Amino acid sequence: MTTDSNIPTRRRVIHDGNPVMVDRYSGLARLNHWVTAAGLILLALSGLALFHPSLYFLTGLFGGGTFARFIHPWIGVVTFVSFAGLFLRFWRLNLWSKADSRWLGSPGAVLSGDEEALPEVGKYNAGQKVYFWVMSILILILFLTGSVIWMEYFAAYFTIEQRRIAVLIHSISAIGAICAWIVHVYAAIWVRGTLNAMTRGQVTGGWAWRHHRKWLRDLVSGNPNKR
């Protein structure tokens, strides 16, 4: 049992109590997540402000259009580096499995919350894995296309046609990332108890058993590669 006093503190991830609490994210992982989340929000606001004249009023949040244009790419760099930290931390846990295909193939059970009709999942279910890989691809595209249209530093390396194509791809990818982020936030609110994982770093044992049963089994068995 992971709460046994003979097990080193770093291995104690399940804590007795009422309710039983299970460690899900470390403090550094949560900090990494919230820096990335803040960066994405700021990028969305500043990017939309520069995207269309009707949204230009959003530049007021950044002290005006000039500063919004200046700070937007730098926020992008910080967000990309922060997300890279999340990617390196969690990519192995987001590799696809046959169980994920079965989970994704049961939309009725997923939407109704009938967890008993779904296969047991590890730390992340198929929906979370899809979000992880979609955002990984989109953020990489945004970073690359954003570099192409960053006039202050890279204007001399690309033609006007290349920059126009980059602007189009950048805009489409940004809209896709915003939509994916909205779904991610909605899902976190919809599944009660999920936000505690990224605010306090812990979930209840009941939450872990219901939503990520295989992950909980791996924790109880002391398998460090499944955390």
What sign for the dihedral angle of Cα 66, 153, 37, 105? positive
Q: Is 72 a catalytic residue?
A: no
Residue in 33, 184, 211, 212 annotated catalytic: 184
Residues annotated as catalytic are 184
